[in-house]
Structure 1
Amino acid sequence: MDDNDHNNSNKSPMVRVHSTVEMGSLEGRSVIEFEDDNLVSPSSISRKKHSFHEPPHTSAGGSENFCPKHMTNSVIGSIKIVLLSAKINLLIPFGPLAILVNKSSGHHGWVFFLCLLGIIPLAERLGYATEQLACFTGPTVGGLLNATFGNATELIISIHALKSGMIRVVQQSLLGSILSNMLLVLGCAFFSGGLMFSEREQMFNKAAAAVDSSLLLMAVMGLLFPAVLHSTHTELHFGKSELALSRFSSCIMLVAYASYLVFQLKRQKNLYLPVNEGDTQNEGTSDDEEAPEISKWESIIWLSILTAWISVLSEYLVDAIEGASVALKIPVAFISVILLPIVGNAAEHAGAIMFAMKDKLDISLGVAIGSSTQISMFGIPFCVVAGWAMGCPMDLNFQIFETATLFITVLVVAFMLQDGNSNYLKGLMLILCYLIVAASFFVHIDPTSVEDKPPKPGH
């Protein structure tokens, strides 16, 4: 790399990954930024550099902007930034290809695989559009937006599965997303950060980790009681008490999650200050100022487009799960718990690892554990309430095997976080734990999965 390239790399745009935990720690900013010139294109670099020195040009800036030529340039520029700026977008054509394969051959194995590849870049771009919109809304609303769209891919897949009556797929995919974030994402972050800083242990904020661990244990409580009630056959009204308890507990968990958002975004901002940020916060203020790359309305339009496209591909993905299980000879439980979460968590994996390698472990922890908290305290109860509205008996009885797996995982991670430091050995242990979980679900046969799908009306 020559000197010019080196100088350009130092001015490269920031790729933003954030979670609701970090939203409370940044009083004047809505996102965390870090440099990665491998994920962006030269055109994106030049646009970002340009934005630091000139006032932002938006389509709503004045009456002189409402000319056809300017509107065309604005649309083309927005498409270049959103669709052509990241190398991961090379996977986008796999989405339309999956639909073509489904229409031509109907091979469920290939349709499922292509849909997985096609949704990965859409999930990453959905997070990007959310972060751009958060630049205009401020940190508090930005945190709420992140809570809503941060796990939108998993929720969209779950809603389509609920419509098809595939309750076990919904339960297991949400469970798998929690396990993936807590073991695989956090483990990779600890491992990569530990190798990068092998001469010392990396530190993180124990107080913030303790709050998230407490919420995860509360989520385990909400899932444990319906499973135990069902397995011990001690329901007051068989087949009804379990469902009623699940719906009541889901409403309580949603209230607890709303309280958690208020707590972390407003009440306890100092609690979530990263341990290494206090001395350098003033120095880096000018470098961390956020310059949005697209306008507010462009962000909203892209959010709508990406959400709709993810919804379309999710429908094909859900319809192909059972056929893919037979074609690939893989249990549905393994597909739901291991393969599906990889799609929604792909961007979080990369973000958590790169933050850890830059010694920003608090952010990595927020990405991994914060996402698990969102799914367990918001995603799962939301699906129960949504199923209630759709007349689908979605409950919190995840069966004993799955509930025990989650319970042990939360305990292991809580013990790992209690001393406030990490190293590569802890990361390796978490990764190996995830391999054990994956192997367990590969040999696990769920006897209730075939009973979930009721006949569709009119069939």
Structure 2
Amino acid sequence: MNKIFFGLVLLGVPISVIGSFLHWPSVIMFIVYCLTIVALAGFMGRATESLAIVMGPRIGGLLNATFGNAVELIISIFSLKAGLVGVVLASLTGSVLGNLLLVAGLSFFVGGTKYKRQKFNVFDARHNAGLLIFAVIVAFVIPEVFTQDMNESSTMSLSVGISIILILLYLAALFFKLVTHRGVYQHTEKTEEHEEEVPEWSTKKAIIILAAATLAVAYVSEKLVHTFSEVGETFGWSELFIGVIIVAIVGNAAEHASAVIMAYKNKMDVAVEIAVGSTLQVAMFVAPVLVLISLMYPTHMPLVFTMPELISMVTAVFLMIMISNDGETNWFEGLTLLAAYFIMGIGFYLL
């Protein structure tokens, strides 16, 4: 797989540059850009995994989620610049659904086929459950309710206010987990002793690869955004479907792969931290930051989602909480999450 990704990067980056200059057909370039971003995300995943081995599961999971979301943040900024607010909001929805249902579902399913029961830190699961309810249900549903009778200016003011509160609470949550209460809620029951792992790359090499891959992703993402309209018309995809399914899967490719690999190695604390931690980062940091960034562009982005997007996110949150709140999982619970994702995917495709 690593050789395939290396080959895709070696071919994909030059073809992306040449194709954009020569104005090759949008549909062909869309496929090239997507494959290149997924391959680059694979390198970002390997770099963050090397750093995670050195820094521990919590910081490793956080790093993986952060750099995984960096790809989507870059795509979203260029989409905002192009005035594609609908695509950005849909991609945020897709990230929440993708992480809670697809990433967690695949991780639980793949890990569960190897181990009968897999355990993870129940205290972290319960802490994350409260934050998920706050971030998705309080912060996303409230604007929809209050903005029914508001004008555009008031809607944007409410969105900015909520965004600032979300960012501050997210930073406080990181401070709580990594500083004031680090090690307080330990996972007391260890299922299996793991051999000490050696990182694939040194810290310096991992950071250099991470930086280079992020820059390459930024370039390819800008080109990808310009293909959305034509690709949507060609395949009959709505803006909503492109955002919820395509952009979300491409943008989160790094953490998708990393979480599944960690689950297969029975490192469920890291796998859950990637899936749920990434969702929280999208809802409490990426989305609010995009609202604030949109103020610099002619088209502003309020934190107001469509009803199908809201109901899907709320359903995903409750399902994930019900499945993960006991601190253990199995392959059937993973399959349940995957089934929910595919049902929603069909719905968004036909919408």
The answer (yes or no) to whether the contact 2:129–2:325 under 8 Å persists in 1 is no
Following TM superposition, by how much is the alpha carbon of 1:126 offset from its aligned partner in structure 2, in angstroms?
Answer: 2.6
What per-residue deviation string (whole Å, max 9, x for no partner) do you get for residues 121-166 of structure 1?
Answer: 2122234445556788899987775564341100000111111111
Equivalent position to 1:365, from 254, 260, 272: 272
Equivalent position to 2:228, from 316, 321, 326: 321
Following TM superposition, by how much is the alpha carbon of 1:275 offset from its aligned partner in structure 2, in angstroms?
Answer: 5.0
Which structure ranks higher in relative contact order (CA pairs < 8 Å, sequence separation ≥ 6)?
2
Distance 1:291 1:193 in 2: 21
Distance 2:60 2:348 in 1: 36
The answer (yes or no) to whether the contact 1:101–1:110 under 8 Å persists in 2 is no
- Matched residue, 1:109: 27
- Matched residue, 1:234: 149
Following TM superposition, by how much is the alpha carbon of 1:373 offset from its aligned partner in structure 2, in angstroms?
Answer: 1.1
The answer (yes or no) to whether the contact 2:65–2:255 under 8 Å persists in 1 is no
State the superposition RMSD in angstroms: 2.7
Distance 1:107 1:203 in 2: 48
- Matched residue, 2:90: 172
The answer (yes or no) to whether the contact 1:116–1:317 under 8 Å persists in 2 is yes
Following TM superposition, by how much is the alpha carbon of 1:272 offset from its aligned partner in structure 2, in angstroms?
Answer: 5.4
CA change 1:133–1:431 in 2 (3 A) is closer
- Matched residue, 1:404: 311
Q: What is the TM-score normalised by the length of structure 1?
A: 0.69
Distance 2:106 2:54 in 1: 33
- Matched residue, 1:149: 67
Distance 2:45 2:265 in 1: 21
The structure whose Rg is larger is 1
Distance 1:336 1:413 in 2: 22
Gap runs ≥5 in structure 1: 1-38, 41-85, 445-459
Following TM superposition, by how much is the alpha carbon of 1:430 offset from its aligned partner in structure 2, in angstroms?
Answer: 0.6
1:190 is aligned to 2:98: no
1:163 is aligned to 2:70: no
- Matched residue, 2:123: 207
- Matched residue, 2:181: 268
Gap runs ≥5 in structure 2: none
The answer (yes or no) to whether the contact 1:151–1:375 under 8 Å persists in 2 is yes
- Matched residue, 2:263: 356
Bigger mean CA deviation after superposition, 170-179 or 151-160: 170-179
Q: What is the TM-score normalised by the length of structure 2?
A: 0.89
The answer (yes or no) to whether the contact 1:143–1:265 under 8 Å persists in 2 is no
Q: 1:41-440 to 2 correspondence within 5 Å?
A: 86-92=3-9, 93-104=11-22, 106-130=24-48, 148-198=66-116, 201-220=117-136, 221-230=138-147, 233-235=148-150, 238-271=151-184, 273-277=186-190, 280=193, 284=195, 287-288=196-197, 293-294=201-202, 296=204, 298-390=205-297, 392-440=299-347
Count of paired positions: 349
Q: Which amino acid aligns with 2:229?
A: E
The answer (yes or no) to whether the contact 2:109–2:332 under 8 Å persists in 1 is yes
CA change 1:375–1:312 in 2 (3 A) is same
The structure with the greater share of residues assigned to helix is 2
SS in structure 2 opposite 1:151? helix
CA change 1:439–1:272 in 2 (3 A) is farther
